[in-house]
Amino acid sequence: GESVIELFQLPKAELHLHIEGTLEPGLAFELAHRNRVTLPFGSVEDLASRYRFENLRGFLDLYYTTMAVLRTEDDFADLARAYLGRAKAQGVRHAEVFFDLQAHLRRGVPAEAVVDGLSAALAEAEHDAGITGGLILCFLRDLPVADADAALTAAMPRVDRLLGVGLDSAELGHPPGPFAPVFRRAREAGLRAVAHAGEEAPAAYIQEALDTLGVERVDHGIRAVDDPRLIERLVTGRVPLTVCPLSNVRLKTVGSLREHPLPELMDLGVVVTVNSDDPAYFGGYVADNFLALSREAGLTLRAAERLARNSIAASFVTPGRAASLI
């Protein structure tokens, strides 16, 4: 109906999107063929049938396996082009895009190929569709800190093409604190900072990310609902959360959208945003997340408008650009 169209057309910023998580099965097989990489799946249908996960680790295993088809600058440009085309149809006017550089460096792909390919697609989207964007290099928290440090060094020749740094991959048992020196170095190089925290690990990881990494936003952050003092800190400091509802259900960190803490976080006064995380794997892009919330969790159009406005306010665009997005 009409409200579906409105949800899709609401101008949005997407702030929690892993570009490797936009790799649809069809493109994965196309790139495998182009690069003569053998995927351990028989067909597009076989790969698509594996998109059922018990937890974050189970998803990450498939995600890191499938991204092995990404080898060249053109592959990264094609991947980001495909995402930006879909994002436009979902009302995305600005996209701050995560990439997992360490996962590509370890396959021998140079940092320049990754960054230049992604940047080329972002520049095209701005020229052709008026969509702005930026790149956020995420460190893999389940690898040693020295590996993150080496990835930042590898990216330094392209630091002018980067917007920020983040922290992702398997969270439980990998708290943020040890990454403080790498984040400090990134911030000294002029980069913004965000981190995944409180997705599958408790609220204490969110507190620690704020205390040690200097992050300006928290990715996921849903476990903040368990800690009233942390909620107060997020509200007072206007620290946004980049929440990913369909991801949380697919990775079983939340039982269903009806039980999702997003409405409670909004009611408590937290600056909440809605994002798609890894849309090729989790059953929907960003407007699909809005639609699922409206159908299954009673999200009103007014609340959806607020979430979309929050996303622009929580983005790293200049105030002038933000005004033009609303």
Asked if residue 116 belongs to a known ligand binding site, the reply is: no
- What backbone phi and psi angles, to 5 degrees, belong to 72? -115, 165
Nearer to Zn ion, 14 or 277 (CB): 277
Nearer to ligand HPA, 100 or 216 (CB): 100
**Which of Zn ion, ligand HPA, none sits in contact with 21, Cβ below 5 to 8 A by type?**
ligand HPA
Query: Please, are residues 260 and 245 in contact by the beta-carbon 8 Å criterion?
Result: yes
**Which of Zn ion, ligand HPA, none sits in contact with 119, Cβ below 5 to 8 A by type?**
none
Shortest CB 22 distance to ligand HPA, Å: 11
Q: Which of 199, 208, 264, 305 is catalytic?
A: 199
Asked if residue 18 belongs to a known ligand binding site, the reply is: yes
Q: Indicate whether 12 belongs to the interface with ligand HPA (CB under 6 A).
A: no
Query: Please, are residues 201 and 237 in contact by the beta-carbon 8 Å criterion?
Result: no
CA angle 188/189/194 to nearest 5° reads 80
Nearer to ligand HPA, 99 or 316 (CB): 99
Count other Cβ atoms within 10 Å, centred on residue 30: 15
Query: Please, are residues 193 and 246 in contact by the beta-carbon 8 Å criterion?
Result: no
- Distance, in Å, from the CA atom of 80 to the CA atom of 222, rounded to the nearest integer, reads 27
- Distance, in Å, from the CA atom of 180 to the CA atom of 250, rounded to the nearest integer, reads 30
Q: Indicate whether 56 belongs to the interface with ligand HPA (CB under 6 A).
A: yes
Q: Which residues contact 40 (CB under 8 A, 6 or more apart)?
A: 65
**Which of Zn ion, ligand HPA, none sits in contact with 56, Cβ below 5 to 8 A by type?**
ligand HPA
Structure tokens at 86: 């879909």
- Distance, in Å, from the CA atom of 159 to the CA atom of 181, rounded to the nearest integer, reads 17
Q: Indicate whether 217 belongs to the interface with ligand HPA (CB under 6 A).
A: no
Candidate list 90, 102, 132, 169; residue touching ligand HPA; CB under 6 A:
169
**Which of ligand HPA, Zn ion, none sits in contact with 199, Cβ below 5 to 8 A by type?**
ligand HPA
- Distance, in Å, from the CA atom of 270 to the CA atom of 49, rounded to the nearest integer, reads 37
Asked if residue 33 belongs to a known ligand binding site, the reply is: no
Nearer to Zn ion, 69 or 246 (CB): 246
Candidate list 139, 278, 309, 316; residue touching ligand HPA; CB under 6 A:
278
Amino acid letter at 219?
D
Q: Indicate whether 14 belongs to the interface with ligand HPA (CB under 6 A).
A: no
CA angle 100/117/187 to nearest 5° reads 50
Alpha helix ranges (H) inside 194-244 = 203-212, 228-236
Decide if 126 is catalytic.
Answer: no
**Which of ligand HPA, Zn ion, none sits in contact with 261, Cβ below 5 to 8 A by type?**
none
Asked if residue 277 belongs to a known ligand binding site, the reply is: yes
Please spell the DSSP secondary structure of 97-139, one letter per residue: EEE-HHHHHTTT--HHHHHHHHHHHHHHHHHHH--EEEEEEEE
- Distance, in Å, from the CA atom of 221 to the CA atom of 279, rounded to the nearest integer, reads 19
Number of residues lying near Zn ion (CB under 5 A): 1
Shortest CB 209 distance to Zn ion, Å: 14
Number of residues lying near ligand HPA (CB under 6 A): 11
Asked if residue 127 belongs to a known ligand binding site, the reply is: no
Nearer to ligand HPA, 21 or 133 (CB): 21
Query: Please, are residues 20 and 70 in contact by the beta-carbon 8 Å criterion?
Result: yes
Which of the residues 252 through 281 are near Zn ion (CB under 5 A)?
A: 277
Indicate the annotated binding residues for Zn(2+): 16, 18, 196, 277
Indicate the annotated binding residues for substrate: 278
Catalytic positions, please? 199
Q: Which residues bind ligand HPA (CB under 6 A)?
A: 18, 21, 56, 63, 168-169, 196, 199, 247, 277-278
